Amino acid sequence: MPLVTTKDVLRIAEEKNFALPAFNIPIPEFILWVLEEAESLRSPVIIQVAPVEYKALDIRMFYGTLQALSERFSIPFSLHLDHAHHEEEILLAIQNGFSSVMIDGSRLPFQENIRLTQRVLSLAHPVGVLVEGELGRVGGLEGDEAWEKEGNGEDFFTSPDEAKAFVKEAPVDLLAVAVGTRHGLYGDRIPKLQLELIQEIREKTHLPLVLHGGSGTPAEELQAAGKRGVRKINYSTALRVEYLNAFREILANQPEELMVSKMLPYLAQAVKKAVRECIVSSDAQHKA
């Protein structure tokens, strides 16, 4: 199946009542490894990249790479922009083949978040690009240490009433919500999702919901969220941890090895293990 739009893969998730795994790509090799494991599990997936990631690469490479790989894979997959904070980042993604974009105005006061999201909607919707907004505060590391801040209980959760008001003024296609997850590592803490809150937000907005910070959240929690209207779960930390652990192991055991091509199969195996766990946690296998 060729590269499809995020609208297409979301339709599958709605029809089969599960959450799509969305994988952040810090280096190009991750694209192939994610798609190979998704193909083996027959799982639709979303390939996504954030400005903090593509600034170290070239944003133009992603759409072309996925188009070329369409000839090799049969599962549906789409390309999404994650965690943009500025309209210029949105325009760049639209110009380079992204079929959906996220504008993260969660750092802003409520009305400013609405106004920013409205401006992005006016850029994206006329050309058929879906928009993901965010309301509430998902804690943890987003690649921006200046904004690193821990949530303080319910104060940071998404309010169902605010969510309803938000989407009335800024009619996004997906809504990222703060319901108990965080970006980055959890340490000794095991996240507990606010499942009733998820259901209430879904009922008040009628939108596909998005969880950021899926890595480390128990599979049963994520699957329960999928049954309540979460349609996209973001994964990044789990893959990067396995990649870096494998890389450190290679350097420790083979410090004089210079052939990167010999390292790649071991690195791929480590990342694919994490990808598989994320797909199974989302209950996305056998859905393509």
Q: Among 82, 104, 173, 283, which one carries the catalytic annotation? A: 82
Q: Contact at 8 Å (CB) between 151 and 183?
A: no
Q: How far apart are CA 223 and CA 20, in angstroms?
A: 11
- 169: number of Cβ within 10 Å: 13
Residue 253, exposed/middle/buried by CB under 10 A (0-12, 13-18, 19+)? Answer: exposed
Q: Is the four-CA dihedral 144, 6, 37, 278 of positive or negative sign?
A: positive
Beta strands in the chain (DSSP E): 20-24, 45-49, 77-84, 100-103, 130-135, 139-140, 174-177, 182-183, 209-211, 230-235
Distance of CA 67 to the CA centre of its chain: 20
User: Which of these, 69, 71, 78, 82, lies nearest to 97 by C-alpha position?
Assistant: 78
DSSP, collapsed to helix, strand or coil, labels residue 183 as strand
Q: How far apart are CA 18 and CA 40, in angstroms?
A: 18
User: Which of these, 116, 148, 132, lies nearest to 52 by C-alpha position?
Assistant: 148
Q: How far apart are CA 126 and CA 120, in angstroms?
A: 11
For this structure, is 82 an active site residue? yes
Q: How would you classify the pairing of strands 174-177 and 130-135?
A: parallel
**Structure tokens given for 22:** 């969305």
- The catalytic site residues sit at 82
